[in-house]
Amino acid sequence: MAHWLLKSEPSTWSWNDQVKADAKGTAWDGVRNHLAKKHLMAMKRGERAFFYHSGEDKRIVGVVEVIGEYRPDPGDRTASFGMVDVKAVGPLPVPVTLALCKAEKSLANMVLLRNSRLSVQPVTDAEWAVVCRLGAMKPA
C-alpha cells in the first residue's frame, strides 16, 4: 500500500475540521495542479496519508485514510481536475514539525522538503516509518 501526504492551510481546512467530519469524511477538493492530480488518481481506498498543516503551524498533525477514490471535482469549471474522499484516522501523538523533518537525515529526500509547494505528495514506506517513529505512532 502506498502512503501519501496531504497539505492544508489550517485557516482553510484544519485537522480539527477533518476530525469533526468524522467517519463520513470529506472530499479533498480544490486541487488544481497536474502533478497533484496524478497522485490523487493513484490513491486507493484504504491507503493512508499524513495530514500536514502549512502556514503558521508547519507540522504533520494526523493521519487520514482514503475512503473514496478519484472522481471529478464539481467545483472545477474546466472539468479536468478531481478529488478523493478522506476520513480522519487519528492524530499523531507527537506532531512532527517541518523543522524536525529537516533535521532528520533519513528524510532528506522527502517531497515535503524537496518540493514544498506540492499539495498532494507520495511518501515512501521508509519515510512513513520514520515519521511515525518521530510522532510516537505505530506504523500502519
Q: Report if residue 98 touches DNA, rule: CB under 7 A.
A: yes
Closest CA to 45 of 106, 86, 91: 86
Query: What length is written for the chain?
Result: 140
Binding residue (CB under 7 A) for DNA from 3, 7, 39, 48: 7
Nearest residue (CB) to DNA, 1 versus 99: 99
- Look at residue 81 and give its three-state secondary structure: coil
| DSSP H stretches of helix in the chain | 15-21, 34-42, 98-103, 111-114, 125-134
The least distance separating DNA from the CB of residue 111, rounded to whole angstroms, comes to 10
Site string for DNA, 28-47 (x = CB under 7 A): ----xxxx------------
- For residues 111 and 39, the answer to whether their CB atoms sit within 8 Å is no
Site string for DNA, 54-93 (x = CB under 7 A): xx--x-----------------------------------
Nearest residue (CB) to DNA, 99 versus 140: 99
- Which conformational region is residue 136 in: left (phi greater than 0), alpha (psi within -120 to 50 degrees), or beta? left
Which residues make up the interface to DNA (CB under 7 A)?
7, 9, 32-35, 54-55, 58, 98-99, 102, 115-117, 119
